[in-house]
Amino acid sequence: MSVSRGVVCLLVTTCLWTAAVVSGETVLSCVVMETCLLPCSFQPGDEELIHWIQVSANDAPVHAFYHRGDHFDHQDPRFKGRTSLSHDGISTGNASLQLRGLQVQDQGRYKCYTSTTWGNQETFITLKVQAPVSGVDIEQEGNTITCRSSAGIYPEPGLSWSSRPQTPLSLHTSLQRTPQELFIITSTLTLNQSAGDLVYFCKISSQESSSSATVLQLPPISGSSHTDASIPCSTSDPDLRPSKLTWRFNHTDIILTQTNGQVQDLDLKKWDVKVSSSGSLILTASSVEHVGIFTCERKTAQGTLVYNTFVKIRPQEGNQTHEPGSVAGIVVGTVAGVALGVVGIVVLVIYCKRPNGVL
C-alpha cells in the first residue's frame, strides 16, 4: 500500500528531513550532524521489548529496551551515546528512535522489532543521509579563478562552469573525501587573456541542493586621487547590505570587522584606515607596507560577496624614488566572488601627485 504518514522530529539540534511511506516502508532523509527521528509505533501492551537493528550493516544492534530499561551491552560502538527512546511514549506504543550526530555511515535499512503481550511487530525504515550544498567560495589569483564548496557535501556533488558569451574553458576539477565521508569539490579555471570581457559562472549541485558563484570582468577604470586610497567593497543593491563585513590583508590578517554598522577588531597601531558608508576601505596613508591583497567579505541574507583587491606601488617613469609623503602610483585590481548574485572584477589605476604638484 502507499500511505502518507507524518513523522514527528524531536530536536536537540536543528533537524531537517523528509519522510514518506513507499509500499509499506518509510523512506527518511536527514542531514549530516543533525538529529533524526526514525519512526516506529506498535500496539501498546505489557512487558514491552524493543530492538532497533541496522539491517544493511550486517544486522548491527542499534538500541535495545526491555525490563523497563535501556540495554547497551551489545550495541554497535558506532552508535554509542547517540541513541535514545522516549520512555514516556513507550507505554502508548511509541518506539521511535532518536539518532543524534548523524553520520554518512548511518544511512541504510533499519528494522524496529517490538514485542508485547499483544504480539510481535516489525517496522522497516530506509534512512538516507545528505549534506546539502551550503555555499560556494570563489577567489582569483593571477589568471586563474578557483571555485570550491565551502563545506562538505553528500552525496557526491557535481561542478559546472559556463561563460557569457560562450568561450572554450580550460579547467581542472578535483574531488576529495573528508574523514567524515563528505565530499569537497574544487575546480580551477585558467583565464584566456585574449578572450575579452567575459562573465564566468560556477555552479555546484548535489541532489536537490545547489549554489552558484559569478565572476564578472569589467573594463579597466582610470582615475586620480591624493595619497588616500579607497578600496571598493560596495553595491547599489539595497538587498545586499551586509549584516557583517570583514576586511582582511593577504587573506589571513584581519584588519577589521563590522557588524550591523559597528566596527570591531580594528588594530589602530597597525592600520590607519576607516570604512565608508558603502563598506569601502579608505587607506589614509598609502605606503609600501600596503602592498598585498585586501579582501572584503560581505555577509548578507542572500549570500556572501567577496572582493579581492590587489594593491601595489607602481613607480613613475624616469623616477624610482618615493619622496616622503608621496606615492608614485597605486594599482588596484579587484576580483569579486558571490554565492548568490553577480561579482565584479575592476582594475583601478590611481596616479598620486607629488607634494610639488608635478606627476
DSSP class per residue in 34-49: S-EEE--B----SS-E
Q: Is 223 exposed, middle or buried (0-12, 13-18, 19+ CB in 10 A)?
A: exposed
Domains (ranges, CATH) in the chain? Answer: 17-130 (2.60.40.10), 131-197 (2.60.40), 218-359 (2.60.40.10)
Q: Please report, for residues 203, 223, 239, 272, the alpha-carbon distance to residue 195 in angstroms, rounded to integers and kept in the order given.
A: 21, 25, 32, 39
State the DSSP string of 257-290.
Answer: EEETTEEES--TTT--EEE-TTS-EEESS--GGG
pLDDT at site 318: 47
CB count in 10 Å sphere of residue 195: 13
Q: Which residues of the chain have pLDDT under 50?
A: 1-23, 195-196, 218-226, 239, 315-359
State the pLDDT at residue 241: 56
The pLDDT value recorded for residue 243 is 67
> If you count DSSP H runs as helices and E runs as strands, how many of each does the chain have, helices first?
1, 28
pLDDT in tens, 169-221: 899 999 999 999 999 999 999 877 554 456 788 899 998 888 887 776 544 43
Count of positions (residues) in the chain:
359
The x, y and z cell numbers of residue 205, run together, are: 549541485
User: For residue range 6-56, what is the model confidence (pLDDT) as tens digits?
Assistant: 333 332 333 333 443 333 689 999 999 999 999 999 999 999 999 999 999
Per-residue pLDDT, 289: 67
pLDDT at position 197, please?
56
Query: What are the phi and psi torsion angles at 292 (to 5°)?
Result: 155, -160
Give the pLDDT confidence score for residue 9 in this predicted structure.
Answer: 33
